[in-house]
Amino acid sequence: MSWKFVLYDWAGLNLALFQAINTGTPPMLEPLATFFSLIGSYWTTPLTLLGLWGWSKSTADPARVRAVQTRLLHFGVAFLLALVAASILKLWLDFPRPPAVLGAQAHVIGTAELHYSLPSGHATYAALVAAALWPLLGWRGRLGLIGYAALVGWSRVAAGMHFPADVLAGWGLGFGCVVLAERLVSMFAAARGKGPLAPVWLWYGVAVVSIAVDQAAKLAIVRTFGYGEQAEITPFFNLVHVLNPGAAFSFLAAAGGWQRYVFIALGLLVAMWLMRELKQALPRLQALGYSLILGGALGNVADRVLRGQVVDFLDVHWHGTHWPAFNLADVGISIGAACLVLAAIRLQERSCKSTSSS
């Protein structure tokens, strides 16, 4: 018995609920399912942001203005978190959608989709909206939010796009991202009053986001490109799918295999040192550099542990000469190193000014 059978299939209940809802939805309700699928889409995010911004401008109560602006910020941060998390889960798990499982037995409204069922992006977005607006509304408005989220979830099952477990996972992800966004925003606001130094959790967060974005991009490449396949984006830039057993920019890629374990150990040692350094009081630019290098190092370590080699997909070339393929982790390491150089230059300039003034 697998974890998927228990946690996702619910011992067959997930499929049974889908069939009951999907085949039990009368044709007269199909326009309603289409409508709630439309207003529960990520594409309505600009309208939600504009609506909250307009609300903050239309009220004269300063406390109300602050409350709406705070929820606007929470929603924006939560949306970014949810977008990254949902993309990673979809690409990593790659659960089949109802038409891929049931074929013609699944009644589909619109164009049938076959891949990336968990979580439901529409349910995730509906939960984001409901959780973000919840503190601003009374009990009637909150009932409306519950109804909105429920109907968006129902519409995805009725349209044959998702199983109930996908919808439930989306609701949980959306709500969790709003809670996480609230805590991140409140901690960052508290840190602003402590001078130019940022707390360690903020820089650890930058590293985690760097790892997540890097891994999501690599998953997308692995899922959509065959090994060695490439796609021309511009006359000097391609997307490719290659595996690199070496370090950044293919350093030591031709070694005999021992480099995998050396680079894993080295990456973990560097990460431990950087995490210790970030606990100290550092200027923001230096801390940003350390956090980006930390995220990049751990992103490539994850590849070596999970795949044995690093996925590279960015190919820059000019007049037939190709720079060694690299990835977003390498980009993060390079930007982090540039931040450290710039921080050192600024420190030297301040030191020179201090010496000359004295």
What is 3-192's CATH number? Answer: 1.20.144
121-133 helix and 139-158 helix, angle to the nearest 10 degrees? 180
Residue 197 has pLDDT above 50, yes or no: no
Q: What is the pLDDT of residue 246?
A: 62
pTM of the model: 0.64
DSSP 3-state of 316: strand
Residue 190 has pLDDT above 80, yes or no: no
For residue range 33-83, list pLDDT tens digits in order.
999 999 998 888 889 999 999 998 888 888 999 999 899 989 988 998 898
Q: What is the pLDDT of residue 15?
A: 94
For residue range 104-145, list pLDDT tens digits in order.
899 999 888 888 899 999 999 999 999 999 999 999 999 999
Q: What is the pLDDT of residue 306?
A: 80
Locate 86 and state its tokens. 């949902």
- Mean pLDDT over 265-288 rounds to 89
Q: What percent of the chain has pLDDT over 90?
A: 44
Domain ranges of the chain: 3-192, 207-357
| Integer angstrom CA distances of residue 216 from 52, 87, 209, 311 | 30, 7, 10, 11
Active site (annotated) includes residue 166: no
| Neighbouring residues of 161: CB distance < 8 A, sequence distance ≥ 6 | 37, 97, 98, 108, 110, 113, 120, 122
pLDDT tier at 235, thresholds 50, 70, 90: confident
Query: Highest-confidence range of 40-44, 144-148, 213-217, 250-254, by mean pLDDT?
Result: 144-148
Rounded Cα distance between 221 and 226, Å, is 8
Q: Which of 166, 303, 312, 315 is catalytic?
A: 312
